[in-house]
Amino acid sequence: MMRIRLPRLISAISLTTAALLMWTIVKYTTKQNFTQTCHHSEEFQEGLHRLADRVHHVLSSLGLSHFLCYGSLWGQLRLSRSLPWEPHVELCILNEEISLKDEVFLSRTFKKHSMQLDYDSTEGKYSITDNQLPGATVHLIVFEQDLLNRVKVLLTQISCFLGLNLPMHTCMFGSTKRRKWFIFFIFSSKTV
């Protein structure tokens, strides 16, 4: 018969307690209770599309070429609207054109249309918000001219691969259920 000594007993109790404690921690920290999905509401998405449409009209009135890019472009190709989990729309603008505009003039122009324009020089992007729609943002990402030519080729290849018969100068946001379309011009009417 094996004798149980005090150090072995303390070690066994400590090891059992540590294992039980670890099991309890893992059990309660990995249990996730989701109270909502990551998708934004239809109302929020419609508001985001209206904000993007307003930004599009301001940029067009200023004569700035702009186009959908990144997640907004993928959402448009895949769902004909922005991705439901994204709180922002990304539009790319040309550095050669935006650098000719005074930043104070741009800020005042957006403010006149009840929007706020902020520039983040580390990211190279402008953020446009509306206080009436908290959390929604339109990002204007500054592109260089040579990169734009690569984007044009990529857009053409993607549309051909997916069998989209959209003209390459337009891209639509909207819901086919409601027949509401927000048309964005990927490239302005002038040739780039």
Q: Is 71 helix (H, G, I), strand (E, B) or coil?
A: helix
- Give the CATH number of domain 42-185; options: 1.10.3470, 3.30.460, 3.40.390, 3.30.70: 3.30.460
Mean pLDDT of the chain: 77
Dihedral sign from CA coordinates of 145, 91, 182, 118: negative
Average pLDDT over residues 140-168: 64
What does the DSSP assignment read for 136-165? -EEEEEEE-HHHHHHHHHHHHHHHHHHT--
| Predicted model pTM | 0.59
pLDDT at 34 over 60: no
Q: What is the mean pLDDT of residues 142-162?
A: 66
**Predicted pLDDT of residue 57:** 94
Residue 43: pLDDT over 50: yes
Alpha helices in the chain (DSSP H): 6-30, 42-61, 70-79, 95-98, 103-112, 145-162
Tell me the residue type at 127: S
pLDDT at 42: 86
Q: Domain spans of the chain? A: 42-185
Residue 23 has pLDDT above 80, yes or no: yes
Percent above pLDDT 70 for the chain: 70
Distance CA 148, CA 93 (A): 9
Q: Looking at residues 158-181, what average pLDDT do you find?
A: 45
Q: Cα(136)–Cα(139) distance, rounded to whole angstroms?
A: 10
pLDDT at residue 2, as a whole number: 64
**Where is 13: in which H helix or E strand?**
helix 6-30
13 φ, ψ to 5°? -65, -45
Residue 188 has a pLDDT of 38
What per-residue confidence (pLDDT) applies to 157? 62
